[in-house]
Amino acid sequence: MRAAGRNADVFGRAWQLFARNLSIVVPGLVAGALTAVLEQLLTTWLWIDVTQIVAAILTISYTTGMADAAWRLGRARFSDGRRAFRRDGRHVLVAMLALMLLGAAAAVLAPYTFSFSIAAYVFFCIYTLAAAVVGERPGFLAVVESARIAFARPLPTLVMVAGVYLVVLGLGAVALSSASLPLLGPLVSDLVVQAVVGYVVLVVVGEYRLLRGLAGCGKTPGAVSDPPVPPKASSLFGHEATASLPHRSSFRRNIRTRSGHREFFRILLGVSL
C-alpha cells in the first residue's frame, strides 16, 4: 500500500508539473513537423533514416531534460532540454540502440515464453531513458541501471508501469478518435499524443528520481531509503537503429508518426500512438 501511495503521489505531482509546463509538448511537435517537411524533400532512404534518428534523439533529450528540470526546480525551459541534448545526446543514441536490440530479442522469445519476455523487457527497461539523461549513464549502462532499480524496487516499478500503460492506452484511444474530426482533427490528435508523451515522461522521470533518492522540487514525494544505484562506469558508444519507416503517402501521416517518444512507446510498451 505504501508503494501504491507513493506512486499516486508521483502521478499526481507529475500532472501538476505538466499543467505548469505545457511547453514540454513543443519539442515533439516541432521535431515531428520539421522531419515531415524534410522527408518530402529527401529522395534517399539513407537520409530519411538519418533525419528520423536525429529527430528521435532531439525529442527524447529535450523532453526528458525538461521533465528533469520540472522536478528539480518546478519550471522547465527549452534551455534545459538543449543542455540535456548537448550533454546526453550520445547516451540516448546508444540507449535507444540497446532498447531496439533487447526489444527484438524479447519479441523473438515471446511465442516460447507466453509473452513473459515482453513483460520482463518492459519492466526492466522502463527507466532507461531517464537513466541516460537524468542519471547521465552512458549508453548500455543506462539499461543496466534501469534493470537494477526495477529489480531492487519491484512493487513501485510494477505499479508505475501499469499506470503508464493505462494512461497511454486511454489517451491514445482519444487521440485516434479525434483524428477523424473534420478540419482540426489531425492537429487535435497530435496535441493529445504529445500531451501523453510529456505527462508519461514526467511520471517516469519522477519515479526514477524518487527511487534514486535524488532531490526534487518542494512538493516532490520524499525519497526512499534504499541504497543508491551503483556509480557510473566508462562510456560506451554505438549507433541507433530506428523502427521501420512509416508510409509517405501524406504529409499529415508523416507529421503524426514522427516522434522519438512515440517510437519509444511502441518499442517499450507495445502501444502505438
* Residue 216 pLDDT grade (very low, low, confident, very high; cuts 50, 70, 90): low
Cα 174 from Cα 182, distance rounded (Å): 15
CB-based contacts of 246: which residues, under 8 Å, 6+ apart?
253, 254, 257
Q: Which is more confidently placed, 136 or 262? A: 136
CB-based contacts of 231: which residues, under 8 Å, 6+ apart?
none
User: Quick one: pLDDT at residue 255?
Assistant: 38
What cell numbers appear for 140 in the block?
548500455
* Residue 52 pLDDT grade (very low, low, confident, very high; cuts 50, 70, 90): confident
Cell 501538476, located at residue: 16
Task: Tell me: pLDDT of 213 over 50.
Answer: yes
Task: Tell me: pLDDT of 174 over 60.
Answer: yes
What mean pLDDT do residues 209-234 have? Answer: 54
**CA distances to 22, 31, 34, 78, 122 from 176, in Å:** 21, 20, 22, 28, 23
Phi, psi of 225 (to 5 degrees): -100, 10
Cell 519515479, located at residue: 207
* Residue 162 pLDDT grade (very low, low, confident, very high; cuts 50, 70, 90): very high
Task: Tell me: pLDDT of 252 over 50.
Answer: no
Comparing 42-51, 90-99, 128-137, 250-259, the range with the smallest average pLDDT is 250-259
What cell numbers appear for 33 in the block?
513537423
Element (H, E) at 51: helix 45-73
Task: Tell me: pLDDT of 122 over 60.
Answer: yes
Cβ pair 71, 16 in contact under 8 A: no
Q: What is the DSSP string of 52-118?
A: HHHHHHHHHHHHHHHHHHHHHHS---HHHHHHHHHHHHHHHHHHHHHHHHHHHHHHHHHHHHTTHHH
Cβ pair 175, 273 in contact under 8 A: yes
What cell numbers appear for 42 in the block?
529527401
What mean pLDDT do residues 10-33 have? Answer: 93
What cell numbers appear for 71 in the block?
522536478
* Residue 119 pLDDT grade (very low, low, confident, very high; cuts 50, 70, 90): very high
What mean pLDDT do residues 83-104 have? Answer: 93
Task: Tell me: pLDDT of 39 over 90.
Answer: no
* Residue 235 pLDDT grade (very low, low, confident, very high; cuts 50, 70, 90): very low
The answer to whether the pTM exceeds 0.85 is: no
